[in-house]
Amino acid sequence: MRVDGVEIKLDIIRHERPRGGSQAFWCCPTCGREVWHLYIRTEGLMCRKCAGLTYWSRQTYRRGLHRVRNLRRKLGAPPGLLAKVPPRPPHWRRDYWARTVAKLAAAEAVIAVELRDMVPRVRRRLRT
């Protein structure tokens, strides 16, 4: 295989399947693991682990923010945290509306506590 004009030899490993056919994997040139995907980095071809790549979903630490965003979208409220919730639309049942607003209030309360606890940690980190 050629990558940016440089020829790289790659090993392909095949595993036979029990009911016929086979499954092919690349052999990572850096660590030798069997992988489905190789990524082009400045150092060359490598697997996810060697390249230090992660999935976006692993970088999301505050899942509560996504819950609040989705509830606000569902209610038709502005996206800002603790922004005013619009009145109930006529086609929504009263109990369903009240339950959804209660879920939103609970999720925003959790975020408020997280933010309150985060401020002293950030201040301490800035002092050092």
Q: Are residues 88 and 42 in the same domain?
A: no
Q: Are residues 12 and 41 in the same domain?
A: yes
- In tens digits, what is the pLDDT along the chain, a chain of 128 residues? 777 777 888 889 999 988 888 999 999 988 989 999 999 888 888 999 999 888 876 766 667 888 899 999 999 999 887 789 999 999 999 999 999 999 999 999 988 888 888 888 888 888 87
Q: Are residues 20 and 39 in the same domain?
A: yes
Q: In total, how many domains does the chain have?
A: 2
Q: Are residues 123 and 68 in the same domain?
A: yes
Q: Are residues 95 and 123 in the same domain?
A: yes
Q: Are residues 45 and 85 in the same domain?
A: no
Interval 26-57: pLDDT, tens: 999 889 899 999 998 888 889 999 998 888 76
Could you tell me the pTM of the whole model? Answer: 0.50
So what's the pLDDT on residue 56? 73
Q: Are residues 46 and 65 in the same domain?
A: no
Q: Are residues 70 and 107 in the same domain?
A: yes
Give me the torsion for CA of 75, 80, 82, 83, rounded to 10°: -70
Supply the range of the domain harboring residue 36: 2-53
So what's the pLDDT on residue 61? 64
CA-nearest of 3, 1, 20 to 11 is 1
Q: Are residues 48 and 78 in the same domain?
A: no
Which of 11, 33, 53 is a domain's end point? Answer: 53
Which of 53, 73, 90 is a domain's end point? Answer: 53
CA-nearest of 8, 3, 15, 13 to 30 is 8
Q: Are residues 71 and 31 in the same domain?
A: no
